[in-house]
Amino acid sequence: MSKTVGVERHSFQAEVQQVLDLMIHSLYSNKEIFLRELISNASDACDKLRFEALSDDSLYAGDGELRIEIEVDEDARTLTVRDNGIGMTRDEVIDNIGTIARSGTRKFLQALSGDQQQDARLIGQFGVGFYSAFIVADNVRLLSRRAGTPPSDGVLWESSGTGEYELQPVERERHGTEVTLHLKPELDEFLQDWRLKSLISQYSDHIGFPIRMPKVADDDDQAGGELEWQDVNRASALWTLAKSEISDEDYRGFYQQFAHDLKPPLDWSHNKVEGTQSYTTLLYIPERAPLDLMLNREERDGLKLYVKRVFIMDAAEQLLPHYLRFVRGVVDSDDLPLNVSREILQENALVKQIRASITKRVLSLLEKMAEKRPGQFAQFWQQFGAVLKEGIVEDPSNREKLAGLLRFATTADEGAGQSVSLADYIERMPDTQDTIYYVTADNATAASHSPHLEVFRKHGVEVLLLSDRVDDWMMGYFTDYQGTPLQSVAKGDIDLSGIGGDNADVNDDQPAADTLAEKIQAALGERVNQVRASRRLTESAACLVLGKGDMALHMQRLLKQAGHELPAHRPDLEINVRHPLVQRLNTSTDQTAIRNWSLLLYEQAVLAEGGQLDDPAGFVQRLNRLMLSLQDEEE
């Protein structure tokens, strides 16, 4: 280790430095997290060695008692975390520690806004990992050797976290990794035995490997003797214990350690299943969504598969439906083979059973939360509701259960956000109403201002306001809830007889309305499918209406922008025959005026829908001409 030949100096990628600076700056008030991050890495390394040794136990090289050691040197002001796990080769050190190859970091960087405060908040939503060492250390040395390589293949990495790191080959007798932190001034607390022990018992009591610290020397101990080690955690994988032996604190600490989450979980469910197959699940609902939840994040993360206590792989993809990708936890099977591969998992009937049962457990956990702790459920919904909605489409077998969990904003209580369930809505429906009405839009304001709501507002009929991206897609698959049909107020014909409206009332002069509609239709040509008198409008002059099965216009726009070819669904234009503008148009005989006014009606309807005009400059000219002509009349 005294070798200095072969020292190489490398620069951190600029982005790594950026992350480092930000982390040090923003996580300083949570500085103790470095310890659980390093212990997590050490424990993962032990898991990996145990897994590889299943097929080649010479990898243990006589050191098969996997463990983590923590040692302090008060004089040197250093703290060391050491494992005899898998270790790293030189290339792995460069890849894993010196670059941003890790996708999490890359996504994090893409999400950075440049606004210090906001970015500082973001960082807490990422697993910060190894770099968290620099929150407390002004120098970090990492010494490692990959199990199965010769002692001469050791590698020493060292950095003060400012711009550069050094790398050199070293002789290293043992495999595994050791990380030594030189603590910043004033952080003597992390040299204290009691402080370290209390952190370990809070977060790392139940990782599956023993964590040891040297026994504090008694006066009559001989100095210079062999170190005597003492286990400081319980080292019993938490999920293997009986529920009665586990406190809420244990559950929370385990989650935070394993999910790298600064926040404790919202809720959890721990179950042992015994029967045709035996397995244990420990499932957590996080408090906050990771930043990349809505993106296509690495889906294997989140759920760890163990077989008979041996970590096998991250297998969320196989064990969870996509719409539950926010769930974190552990599945430990007694029946799967230890050498199970990802491909086998995909096909395996036992795995399918486990997956179905995990899905049930999570849904009942959420149902219970919704029923017993609505406040907490609201918090859940705010974070994960949009993801859960995907399940309505993806998982028909659980559709009713999922539908019961949905929460909506509504015209009946516009300040309350998404808080109304379908059951609430149905309970409030007057006897005469037999349909659940909803509208989908780009955003909450557009939904609540939609012209399609006018007649419903007039008659005091509640309408659900949907503005998540998945909503229109979801509702396309969702035609009724416990027998009550759902209908978009912006699509198809609307039957108002049940809600106090009169289907006949717009039609008192049907022939006149039809003639007018024809006039407008002739002016608009191919732009619309059909023009007709509206039953929906009471204030606005016109609105666009889609066919029952058509995709909402805002979704069509979104997909078009993303380059998708869509079948052309031309909307209908409904006009409000009582509106003064429409009435004026009706009395006009000037063909140019009729054309211009018709176009204006259509363009208004497009704009009210949040759409873009094909000819905005033409619209402005038409509007100005209209305003001037009105002024002429006033004079």
Can residue 41 be called a binding residue for ligand ADP (CB under 6 A)? yes
Q: What is the 3-state secondary structure (H, E, C) of 286-349?
A: CCCCCCCCCCCCCCCCCEEEEECCEEEEECHHHHCCHHHCCCEEEEEECCCCCCCCHHHHHHCH
542 DSSP β-pair partners: 575
User: Which pair of structure tokens corresponds to residue 458?
Assistant: 């007039």
24 lies in the site for ligand ADP, by CB under 6 A: no
CB of 433 to ligand ADP, least distance (A): 53
Is residue 130 close enough to count as binding ligand ADP by CB under 6 A? Answer: yes
- List the one residue from 33, 88, 211, 392 that touches ligand ADP (CB under 6 A): 88
Which is closer to ligand ADP, CB of 326 or CB of 602? 326
* Segment 543 to 602, residues that bind ligand ADP, using CB under 6 A: none
**Among the listed residues 366, 335, 338, 368, the one whose alpha carbon sits nearest the alpha carbon of residue 352:** 335
Helix axes 116-123 and 14-26, enclosed angle (nearest 10): 90
Binding characters for ligand ADP, 98-117, by CB under 6 A (x = yes): ----x---------------
Choice from 16, 22, 33, 42 touching ligand ADP (CB under 6 A): 42
Q: How far apart are CB 358 and ligand ADP at their closest, in Å?
A: 23
Q: What is the Cα–Cα distance from 541 to 580, expressed in whole angstroms?
A: 8
Taking the complex as a whole, the smallest distance from the CB of residue 48 to ligand ADP amounts, in Å, to 7
Other Cβ atoms closer than 10 A to 232: 20
Q: Measured from the CB of residue 407, what is the shortest distance to ligand ADP in angstroms? A: 33
Cα–Cα distance, 98 to 95 (Å, whole number): 6
Minimum separation from the CB atom of position 308 to ligand ADP (A): 23
Burial class (CB in 10 A: 0-12, 13-18, 19+), 231: exposed
H/E stretch holding 156: strand 154-159
Nearer to ligand ADP, 329 or 571 (CB): 329
Is 129 a binder of ligand ADP (CB under 6 A)?
A: yes
d(CA 307, CA 344): 14
Q: Does 421 bind ligand ADP (CB under 6 A)?
A: no
Q: Which stretch binds ligand ADP (CB under 6 A): 18-26, 34-42, 318-326, 616-624?
A: 34-42
Q: Between 134 and 306, whose beta carbon lies closer to ligand ADP? A: 134
For the bound state, the minimum distance from the C-beta of residue 97 to ligand ADP, rounded and expressed in Å, comes to 6
Number of residues in contact with ligand ADP under rule CB under 6 A? 17
Nearer to ligand ADP, 87 or 610 (CB): 87
The distance between the two most distant Cα atoms of the chain, rounded to a whole number of Å, is 113
CA–CA gap between residue 131 and residue 45 (Å, rounded): 17
Helix (H, G, I), strand (E, B) or coil at 137: strand
Pick 165 or 408: Cβ nearer ligand ADP: 165
Q: Strand pairing partners for 154?
A: 170
Q: Does 45 bind ligand ADP (CB under 6 A)?
A: yes
Six-digit token pair at 148? 């199965």
Give me Rg for the CA atoms of the chain: 32
Q: What are the backbone angles phi and psi of residue 180, rounded to the nearest 5°?
A: -115, 125
Please state the closest distance from residue 131 (CB atom) to ligand ADP, in A: 6
Nearer to ligand ADP, 15 or 493 (CB): 15
Residue 405 contacts ligand ADP per CB under 6 A:
no
Cα-flanking dihedrals φ and ψ of residue 332, to 5°?
A: -125, 110
Residue-level length of the chain: 635
**Contact call for residues 308 and 280 (beta carbons, < 8 A):** no
Output the smallest distance, CB 209 to ligand ADP, in A.
Answer: 12
And the tokens for 29? Answer: 């008030």
Dist. CA 607–CA 540, nearest whole Å: 12
Query: Is 85 a residue that touches ligand ADP (CB under 6 A)?
Result: yes
Question: For residues 83 and 609, which CB has a smaller minimum distance to ligand ADP in the complex?
Answer: 83
- Interacting positions 165-194 with ligand ADP (CB under 6 A): 177
Phi then psi dihedrals of residue 155, to 5 deg: -140, 140
Q: CB 108 → ligand ADP: shortest distance, Å? A: 11
Q: Which stretch binds ligand ADP (CB under 6 A): 20-28, 94-102, 109-117, 504-512?
A: 94-102
Smallest separation (angstroms) from ligand ADP to the CB of 129: 3
Residue 345 and residue 351 in contact, taking contact as beta carbons nearer than 8 Å = yes
CA-nearest of 595, 553, 559 to 571 is 553
Binding part of the chain for ligand ADP, among 82-90, 222-230, 302-310, 610-618 by CB under 6 A, reads: 82-90
Nearer to ligand ADP, 177 or 204 (CB): 177
53 binds ligand ADP (CB under 6 A): no
The token pair that represents 302 in the structure block:
């989140």
* Cα→Cα distances 135→35, 37, 71, 158, 182, Å: 11, 12, 19, 15, 11
Among 17, 96, 139, 277, interactor with ligand ADP by CB under 6 A: 96
- Tell which positions 255-314 bind ligand ADP, by CB under 6 A: none
Long-range contacts of 514-521 (CB under 8 A, 24+ apart): 516/575, 516/577, 516/582, 516/585, 516/586, 517/575, 519/585, 519/586, 519/594, 519/598, 520/573, 520/575, 520/585, 520/594, 520/598, 520/601
Residue number with CB closer to ligand ADP (103 or 479): 103
86 binds ligand ADP (CB under 6 A): yes
Applying CB under 6 A, which part among 125-133, 414-422, 515-523, 624-632 lies near ligand ADP?
125-133
Q: Does 471 bind ligand ADP (CB under 6 A)?
A: no
Q: Which CB, 212 or 532, lies closer to ligand ADP? A: 212
User: Minimum CB separation from ligand ADP for residue 88, in Å?
Assistant: 5
What contacts 580, CB < 8 A, 6 or more positions away? none
- Report in angstroms how near the CB of residue 28 gets to ligand ADP at its nearest: 18
Q: Give the interface with ligand ADP as residue ranges (CB under 6 A).
A: 37, 41-42, 45, 83, 85-88, 96-97, 102, 127, 129-131, 177
